[in-house]
Structure 1
């Protein structure tokens, strides 16, 4: 049975990914940090729906290097890793503190790379390991007021291209999904006017659902995607492309 680690399972996109991969037959390690109660609810739901698969809650503060080694020691079979954890900061570059820049880099790049370095031997065992980053359309197009976030998302996509070449002979594929605007709790603070303006800019005239992002991840984790590696798949409704 295939087992995946989903980092950021407490987020709307991470939760949708957990549900979709479970539907596709994956057992899961569902990661959280502060929102353990939310992930426990997801895991309880999945255990009831798919009693022949295994589902675990795993906790890690991705900003604390000291937790990485014991976290890795608690993982056994790992055939796939999905990095869906992260955050942004809306501000001019000059308004970012050094610590805020460092935190964005660590959450989106440094800790994922350290986790992959520790998990590579497990990912190679099945001959069809899967690594998927949830990037952003801003990693492709850039966004004013989110320059640091755009930079780290672009770095994820560049890393995927390079690492895909490094581990191809191990049977591991490495890819990114780059969502555009997605209907999540993060957008609840938008005014009606702001939401109207945003949807008018999107050729498909609506936000993506979390299930549509999860579907792209499910494809990249499937057997059929064995020949797809080193790519970024935009799921943006045609926005900013």
Structure 2
């Protein structure tokens, strides 16, 4: 029987790579997106050769009740990949309240509440997986990304806590903490800044979205059957 996976933020660089990797492995997918409808259309075309069921879901997770628009369209479900995100750069003293609220909704409140709404579907099957794509900055923090680091740190605590709560229900909850990944989220950095970042990474390069996708597929598979509450760091040795 094919398994159904919800991917939030499926229009982003990592989200698209995760979707392709899972479709290739035979999963059916719910593909959440917000603003980038063109990317979802392109993704659906790329996935069509795999002959699965791929269902786009539009919702804004930056607003308080956006998660309900997603949960109301989910039927059969075996796993959730929380991949939605947004960046926020600048000094903390310049942070505006509406920016902070949107950031926390996307990264913390919406994943938490969406998971709460969908957990009964996993519990009823006595099996399931939840993977949260967090960040290296949730582990160590970054200057000029204080609010983003706080949100990503909260995701890691969410994973560790929920994993204990649902382990006896047969549900595993893990996270991936990417380092600097070559996706459109890096577009705000100049070529010189990107080269400087790559120089700081022991492996000497940025990561690829496909490498995060492979880690996600591993956490969803039986190959990681005794892993829960863990943070898989895929960062080229940048933070150990």
| Length-normalised TM-score, structure 2 | 0.96
Retained in 1: the 8 A contact 2:87–2:185? no
Query: Could you say which residue in structure 2 is the equivalent of 1:19?
Result: 20
C-alpha RMSD of matched pairs (Å): 1.3
1:143 paired to 2:115:
no
Listed as ranges, the matches of 1:86-235 within 5 Å are 86-235=85-234
Question: 1:105-162, CA deviations, whole angstroms, 9 ceiling, x for partnerless residues?
Answer: 1110101111001100112233331101110000111000001100110110011000
The runs of 4+ residues in structure 1 deviating greater than 6 Å are: none
Query: Could you say which residue in structure 1 is the equivalent of 2:50?
Result: 50
Query: For structure 1, which segment, 94-103 or 148-157, has the greater mean C-alpha deviation from structure 2 after superposition?
Result: 94-103
Work out the CA distance in 2 between the residues paired with 1:31 and 1:37: 13
1:69 paired to 2:68:
yes
Work out the CA distance in 1 between the residues paired with 2:18 and 2:10: 8
Work out the CA distance in 1 between the residues paired with 2:185 and 2:127: 34
Retained in 1: the 8 A contact 2:4–2:29? yes
Query: Could you say which residue in structure 2 is the equivalent of 1:31?
Result: 32
Number of residues of Structure 1 aligned to a counterpart in Structure 2: 239
Retained in 2: the 8 A contact 1:128–1:226? no
Work out the CA distance in 2 between the residues paired with 1:186 and 1:170: 36
Provide structure 2 residue ranges, at least 5 long, that are not aligned to the other structure: none
Work out the CA distance in 1 between the residues paired with 2:98 and 2:63: 13
Work out the CA distance in 2 between the residues paired with 1:237 and 1:40: 32
CA shift, 1:43, in A, is: 1.7
CA shift, 1:65, in A, is: 3.2
Retained in 1: the 8 A contact 2:136–2:179? yes
CA shift, 1:70, in A, is: 4.1
Question: 1:143-184, CA deviations, whole angstroms, 9 ceiling, x for partnerless residues?
Answer: 000011001101100110000000001111111100000011
CA shift, 1:20, in A, is: 0.4
Retained in 2: the 8 A contact 1:164–1:229? yes
| Length-normalised TM-score, structure 1 | 0.95
Retained in 1: the 8 A contact 2:32–2:70? no
